[in-house]
């Protein structure tokens, strides 16, 4: 089984290191810059439970050096997918499965989803349908990523908490390709439950990301501070309820109540969301996958999103002013 992790930053690096340390010899990564140089020179280093280990991984700057894979894990951010399509292409053979590990609404969302919107392509996350055409939704294994991981230095990954990567076919089937991948991940010490409704789990994570990420970027506040403040907590709740109406109209089941989801975010503590961290570091922000896509789903289902629309306009303006959105 040949597995490639395309985009070996924090999450991709953690997954690659765990698989390699478990003896997965046919594992490779595509990385770049100082991160790639450090991995080539000294291996992929992982700090976990206070101990540092070195994972021997095959690292390349260009995918054509690695050839066709059985599994390609896309661990880069959603807005980086379209520009990377030419680089991903050499990894794909007729039977290659592609595991999507992006936050937010996935580009393949309406593949195999029965109803009038089946096959709809979302322009907010897949402009012009380029990803759909070049990768193909029939390859997809969806994933919801929970570990908190940081890149402390080039080639050095630090695991903070969490080991769960939920997996699921868009069709809900539990076929051999997703089962085999889950087994490999479990052997590596990870949790990899296979879901028959991966979309609902995507929505539960998206529920918080949609609201807390842009509010944190706009205010500079941590999760705990947003939840503790009456005004920002109420705004987040309103956005989440707008999203819930959209999700439920698409058949999504929300297994927890909105106030419990909000409390869970607050319990994380003084944590800066990824969108706020990107803003502070001058990096592109995941606005479209987390916010614009929900607005697009609202239009497709004829559900209004006034609070989401207002916050979206503000955070896009902020990001444009800081060169973090285009």
Which are the contacts of 200, defined by CB distance < 8 A and separation ≥ 6? Answer: 247, 252, 253, 254, 255
Give me 105's structure tokens.
């609404």
As a whole number of angstroms, the distance between CA 229 and CA 211 comes to 14
Strand partners, 280: none
Alpha-carbon distances, residue 35 vs 22, 48, 190, 283, 319 (angstroms): 22, 19, 24, 17, 26
| Residues that are catalytic | 205
Give per-residue burial for 134-171: e unless 16+ CB within 10 Å, then b: ebebebbbbbbbebebbbeebbbbbbeeebebbbbbbe
Which are the contacts of 145, defined by CB distance < 8 A and separation ≥ 6? Answer: 11, 101, 103, 165
The answer to whether the CB of 143 falls within 8 A of the CB of 98 is no
Which are the contacts of 77, defined by CB distance < 8 A and separation ≥ 6? Answer: 7, 102, 103, 284, 286, 289
Radius of gyration of the chain, Cα coordinates, nearest whole angstrom: 19
Could you say which DSSP state residue 110 is in?
T
The single residue listed with the structure tokens 């050096």 is 65
Burial of 187 (0-12, 13-18, 19+ CB in 10 A): middle
């Amino acid at each position: 089984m040949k597995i490639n992790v395309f985009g070996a930053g924090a999450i991709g690096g953690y997954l690659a290191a765990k698989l390699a340390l478990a003896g997965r010899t046919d594992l490779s990564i595509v990385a770049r810059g100082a991160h790639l140089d450090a991995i080539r020179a000294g291996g992929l280093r992982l700090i976990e439970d206070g101990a540092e280990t070195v994972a021997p991984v095959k690292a390349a700057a260009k995918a054509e050096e690695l050839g066709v894979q059985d599994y390609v894990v896309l661990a880069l951010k959603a807005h980086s997918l379209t520009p990377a399509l030419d680089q991903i292409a050499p990894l794909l053979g007729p039977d290659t499965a592609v595991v999507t590990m992006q936050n937010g609404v996935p580009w393949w969302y309406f593949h195999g989803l029965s109803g009038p919107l089946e096959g709809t392509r979302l322009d907010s996350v897949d402009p012009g349908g380029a990803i759909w055409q070049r990768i193909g939704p029939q390859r997809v294994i969806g994933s919801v990523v929970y570990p908190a991981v940081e890149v402390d230095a080039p080639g050095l990954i630090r695991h903070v908490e969490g080991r769960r990567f939920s997996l699921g076919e868009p069709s809900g089937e539990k076929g051999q390709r997703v089962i085999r991948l889950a087994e490999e991940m479990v052997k590596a010490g990870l949790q990899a439950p296979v879901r028959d409704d991966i979309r609902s789990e995507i929505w539960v994570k998206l529920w918080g990301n949609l609201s807390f990420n842009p509010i944190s970027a706009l205010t500079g506040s941590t999760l705990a501070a947003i939840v503790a403040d009456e005004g920002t907590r109420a705004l987040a709740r309103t956005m989440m309820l707008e999203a819930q109406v959209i999700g439920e109209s698409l058949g999504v089941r929300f297994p927890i109540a909105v106030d419990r989801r909000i409390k869970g975010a607050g319990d994380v503590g003084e944590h800066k969301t990824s969108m706020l961290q990107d803003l502070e570091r001058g990096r592109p922000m995941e606005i479209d996958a987390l916010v614009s896509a929900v607005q697009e789903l609202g239009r497709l289902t004829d559900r209004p999103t006034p609070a989401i629309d207002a916050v979206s306009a503000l955070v896009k303006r902020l990001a444009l002013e800081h060169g973090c959105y285009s």
